[in-house]
């Protein structure tokens, strides 16, 4: 493994920040160097939101992800804003149930995933973000599925244990894709 520079972007309220924290915890769980940096507008819910996560075998000098190797976009404006920043050969994971326009670059690897539609169909509400996390964890070979319940328990608040089961189902769904 080298360094995974991940940028996750969408509207506030889509769980962008939670997804970033979850991926950062996965990196820490497997003993990697990790950075996490959140960014969101003053509007919060409904406004723009993105976060940067790096998972690496090497020391991470800066938490900024200006040239992601992996980009997760959960809305159209995020695709328009960040597609050009992905390194050649990088991957863009697009919530195809929300983003109608495909990626236009030919030097990247697009992954259209109908995460929001899948979450709704499976009765998982607004857990498209966690479906993306499961998919990324598998695609990047970060850790085995069996490790995810322990990691998720660290991230889901002890005050909200009722959210654990749905999040586990969403992670498993993404991991199985």
Domains of the chain, with CATH numbers?
3-176 (3.40.920.10)
Percent over 70 (pLDDT), the chain: 93
pLDDT at position 44 is 54
Note the pTM of the prediction, 2 decimals: 0.92
5-to-57, 119, 161, 165 alpha-carbon distances in Å: 12, 26, 30, 29
Query: Is pLDDT above 80 for 114?
Result: yes
Within 13 Å and on the Cβ side, how many CA atoms surround 155?
26
Q: At what angle do helices 148-155 and 164-176 cross, to 10 degrees?
A: 140
Average pLDDT estimate for 129-157: 91
């Amino acid at each position: 493994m080298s360094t995974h520079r991940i940028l996750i972007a969408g509207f506030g309220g889509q769980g962008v920040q939670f997804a970033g924290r979850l991926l950062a915890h996965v990196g820490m769980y497997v003993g990697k160097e990790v950075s996490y940096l959140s960014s969101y507008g003053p509007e919060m819910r409904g406004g723009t939101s993105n976060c940067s996560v790096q998972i690496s075998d090497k020391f991470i000098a800066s938490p900024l992800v200006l040239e992601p190797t992996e980009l997760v976009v959960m809305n159209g404006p995020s695709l328009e804003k960040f597609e050009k920043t992905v390194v050649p050969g990088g991957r863009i994971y697009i919530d195809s149930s929300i983003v109608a326009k495909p990626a236009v670059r030919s030097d990247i690897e697009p992954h259209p995933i109908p995460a929001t539609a899948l979450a709704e169909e499976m009765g998982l509400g607004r857990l498209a973000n966690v479906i993306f996390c499961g998919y990324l964890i598998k695609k990047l070979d970060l850790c085995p599925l069996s490790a995810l319940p322990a990691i998720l328990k660290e991230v889901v608040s002890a005050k909200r244990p009722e959210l654990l089961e749905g999040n586990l189902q969403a992670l498993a769904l993404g991991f199985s894709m």
